[in-house]
Amino acid sequence: MLNKYARAFFTRVLTPFAAFLIRRGVSPDTVTLIGTAGVVAGALVFYPRGEFFWGTVVITLFVFSDLVDGNMARQLGRSSRWGAFLDSTLDRVADGAIFGGFALWYAGRGDDNMLCAVSIFCLASGQVVSYTKARGESIGLPVAVNGLVERAERLVISLVAAGFAGLHKFGVPGIQYLLPIALWIVAAGSLVTLIQRVVTVRRESAEAEAAAARQENQGSGAAT
């Protein structure tokens, strides 16, 4: 849902900014690299110290680069395989930094091994969810499924919860529990999404093999 509606909305909003960067001679790849560096810095500098509010502010400022670089490429007519590869690869780096930052906090001063493990599961499952779609498509399957919790949902749930949880340091009571709740939701949702994609690939694979067998049988019948 977020991929379909929120991405379209923010793309329209960010189009003038993308056009401004193009006029200044900035390339889409540069925006991708700077955006990823900002997200990684925000996650790994602030989150391990428990500075969830300011970390989320920094990450939010840079995370929209994922929309800006694609918008720039379309305006320039330069959409390429390399750009898509770089963008997808660095998305995985950024996601790993965010959930890695949570894991470092809970492994250290956060002192909660269970939530550290949940954060690591969110990190790993997010990577595997993305891999299942990419691998399915690479073997010629459409992987036609809208997962329960995809990348946009993982980021929004985690970052919104982290930002509000960070307000605990400003004296807001009880709000720090939002982040653990969000991590459990993302973990459960990612597991469901992974199962959805595996089941879909299994079904599409069986259908493709059955269709190939029918074609082979028809070809053999025609030859005789």
Active site (catalytic) residues: 91
User: 50, 110 in Cβ contact below 8 A?
Assistant: yes
State the Cα torsion 191-197-199-200 to the nearest 10°: 160
> Per the annotation, does 31 bind a ligand?
yes
> Per the annotation, does 69 bind a ligand?
yes
Listed residue (88, 116, 113, 80) closest to 101, CA to CA? 116
Listed residue (121, 51, 170, 185) closest to 43, CA to CA? 51
User: 79, 66 in Cβ contact below 8 A?
Assistant: no
> Per the annotation, does 11 bind a ligand?
no
User: 17, 41 in Cβ contact below 8 A?
Assistant: no
d(CA 208, CA 10): 37
DSSP 8-class letter at 51: -
> Per the annotation, does 29 bind a ligand?
yes
> Per the annotation, does 25 bind a ligand?
no
> Per the annotation, does 87 bind a ligand?
yes
> Per the annotation, does 111 bind a ligand?
no
> Per the annotation, does 95 bind a ligand?
no
State the angle between helix axes of 178-223 and 151-165 in degrees (0 to 180), rounded to the nearest 10: 180
Listed residue (147, 144, 134) closest to 207, CA to CA? 144
> Per the annotation, does 132 bind a ligand?
no
Binding residues for a CDP-1,2-diacyl-sn-glycerol: 29-32, 70, 74, 80
Numbered residues of the known binding site for Mg(2+): 66, 69, 87, 91
User: Binding site: what residues are annotated?
Assistant: 29-32, 66, 69-70, 74, 80, 87, 91
